Amino acid sequence: MITRANCPICNQTTKLDKCNEFRPFCSERCSLVDLGKWVDEKYSIIEPAFSDGDQDYPETH
């Protein structure tokens, strides 16, 4: 039985058998990209995007 799917990251056809340790991704790179996505979302919840301090600390000349 050959199980195939498209890699969720690069959409390349990838095998889902146990010799592919990065399944459902095609490669380590794509699995890391997906991991990075989750880590990114996690961080954006914990730590809101930085804003410029200009509005909080107006400079007077």
Chain contacts with Zn ion (rule: CB under 5 A) = 7, 9-10, 12, 26, 30
Q: How far is the CB of 44 from Zn ion (least distance, A)?
A: 24
Query: Given the complex with Zn ion, which of 13 and 60 has the nearer CB atom?
Result: 13
Stated length of the chain: 61
Distance CA 6, CA 52 (A): 41
Contact by Cβ (8 Å): 31, 40: no
- What radius of gyration do the chain's Cα atoms show? 20
Query: Given the complex with Zn ion, which of 11 and 44 has the nearer CB atom?
Result: 11
Query: Given the complex with Zn ion, which of 10 and 39 has the nearer CB atom?
Result: 10
